[in-house]
Amino acid sequence: MQNFVNAYSWINFRYLLEGLWITIEVSVVSIVFSYILGAILGLIRYIKVKYLSATVGFIIDLIRNLPLLLIIFFTYFGLPNIGIRLNPIWSSILAMSIFESAMLAEIIRSGIGAVDPGQMEGARANGLSYWQAMWHIMLPQAQKKMIPTIVSQFISLIKDTSLATIIVLPDLMYHAQIIYGQNSNYILPMFLALAVMYFVVCYLLSILSHYLERRLA
Amino acid sequence: MISIITNHWQDLLYGLGQTLLCSILALFFSLIIGSFFAIFEVVPSKTLRIIARVYIEIFRNIPLLVITMFFYVVIPMFFVKVNGFTAGTIGLTIYTSAFIAETVRSGIQSVDPGQMEGSRANGMTFSQAMRYVVLPQAFRIVIPPLGNQFINLVKNSSVLAFVAGFDLMYQGNTIASTSFDTLNAYFVVGVLYLIITMPLSYYMRYLEKRLN
């Protein structure tokens, strides 16, 4: 019992919170990048440009079927071989953005696909250009359908950030490992703290996702 | 790239075997555990429903790495020694079973409730109706999402690299750090993963289309 009291001293607790902050920071930056990139890729998939859409679709399939860990290794250990050297934070952000934008591209494509095509026809009949109709009519409606799914992708992104400890990203998992590495009495308390902290963040987000699903439906 | 394949094909093949073995074992056990929790979620008993809900919510919201490291680091301190492969497989099983439970539950709930009522009216017990009438129909619906879970499982099995599970990712990493040819080593490993996951994902998409 004493172990638990000592393990959760303010210094350790603050160190864990700093790790959690890095986890959230990396996840938020990655989801923003991948939302932008995913929207562009999803649109290219949706509007069916000859050759381009099929190629983009194939690349998306390739990335979606690779383990995220491999992409993380690739960005941190592989890229320096061709002269691109990134620090752990930016390599993780790059890896997560590549992986997640492929996931989001599929979600965004099917989100636009789920909007009634009559909306587009109506907008065009009323004199809007294709891109005006896409921007003002189609995308806002598609976004409503996609937001709950994107929030649950964000949850899995937060969980997956823990994989980047292997390239020494100073996230929650890594900070916990450092604390229990110094004192083996702290192993159990640290795992409990890890489980609780990840659970609280992800569970709150999943409640938000359910709420949005009901609100926006 | 050719030199990596010719010099290390035995390691790569062994890693591929471990990855497949671990994924299939984890799929088998998580299907059993996941189906049980899915059934718990639809039975009339409130206690069982709460137990299933808690199990699913806990393990869906904790990273796979934390669960795996728990079995690799904490369990040996108090109980038995666990090697990396076992710890990884147990972690994967528990993590995936929560997702499979959700998938199977939605399958069960998409079967017309009249099927259950009809079987009960014809004198079957709840468990008989579940086993012979509802579950066979539910499984047909959930085959494509279960296939996607298996693809995720294969990808997630790379977590074995953290606990020295000698899977494909671990072998690839070892080759990368000994040959210094990181780009090509990861490229070869990536192709090997794609050989497992790509055909599966196209097949599942085909099944999904046929079901609709």
pLDDT at A6 over 80: no
How far is residue B137 from each of residues A216, B52, B129, B132, measured CA to CA in Å?
31, 22, 11, 9
Contact B166, B174 (CB under 8 A): no
Most B CBs within 10 A among A73, A151, A204, hence the mutation to make, goes to: A73
Torsion angles phi and psi, residue B164, rounded to 5: 55, 55
pLDDT of A3 reads 76
Task: Report chain A residues whose CB lies below 8 A from the CB of B175.
Answer: none
Give the other-Cβ count within 10 Å of A199's Cβ. 18
Whether A73 sits inside 8 A of B173 (CB atoms) is yes
CA–CA dist A92, A87 (Å, integer) = 9
pLDDT at B5 over 90: no
Tens-digit pLDDT profile for residues B156-205: 999 988 888 888 888 888 888 888 888 888 888 999 999 999 999 999 88
pLDDT of B112 reads 85
How many Cα atoms are found within 13 Å in the side-chain-facing hemisphere of B46?
0
In the three-class reduction of DSSP (H, G, I as helix; E, B as strand; rest coil), residue A86 is classed as: coil
Whether B77 sits inside 8 A of A195 (CB atoms) is no
Domains of chain B: 2-211 (1.10.3720.10)
What is the rounded average pLDDT for all residues in chain A?
A: 88
pLDDT of A101 reads 93
CA–CA dist A199, A193 (Å, integer) = 10
Widest CA span of chain B, in angstroms?
A: 69
Q: What's the whole-number mean pLDDT along residues A200-208? A: 91
pLDDT of A197 reads 92
Tens-digit pLDDT profile for residues A173-203: 999 988 888 888 888 888 999 999 999 999 9
Task: Report chain A residues whose CB lies below 8 A from the CB of B161.
Answer: 69, 166
Tens-digit pLDDT profile for residues A54-97: 899 899 999 999 999 999 999 998 888 888 888 889 999 999 99
What's the structural domain count of chain A?
A: 1
Question: What's the domain range around A26?
Answer: 2-216
Amino acid at B186: Y
Q: Which of B151, B158, B182 has its CB closest to that of A78?
A: B182
Give the other-Cβ count within 10 Å of A81's Cβ. 15
Q: Which of B65, B157, B202 has its CB closest to that of A162?
A: B65
Shortest distance between the Cα of B2 and any Cα of chain A, in A, equals: 17
Amino acid at B158: S
| Domain at A19, CATH number | 1.10.3720.10
> Which percentage of chain A shows pLDDT scores above 90?
35
Give the other-Cβ count within 10 Å of B97's Cβ. 26
CA–CA dist B196, B155 (Å, integer) = 10
Whether B172 sits inside 8 A of A70 (CB atoms) is yes
Q: What angle do CA A35, A40, A45 make, to 5 degrees?
A: 120
**pLDDT class of A115 with cuts at 50, 70, 90:** confident
**pLDDT class of B45 with cuts at 50, 70, 90:** confident
CA–CA dist A205, A157 (Å, integer) = 12
CA–CA dist B101, B55 (Å, integer) = 10
How far is residue A165 from each of residues A67, A69, A75, measured CA to CA in Å?
15, 10, 14
Q: Cβ contacts of residue B199 below 8 Å, gap of 6+?
A: none
Task: Report chain B residues whose CB lies below 8 A from the CB of A64.
Answer: 201
Tens-digit pLDDT profile for residues A16-38: 999 999 999 999 999 999 999 99
Q: Which of B61, B151, B189 has its CB closest to that of A206?
A: B61
Q: Which is higher by pLDDT, B210 or A66?
A: A66
CB pairs under 8 A between A and B: 111
Helices (H), chain A: 2-7, 10-47, 52-64, 68-73, 88-113, 117-125, 130-133, 139-160, 172-182, 187-216
Contact A118, A138 (CB under 8 A): no
Contact B190, B168 (CB under 8 A): no
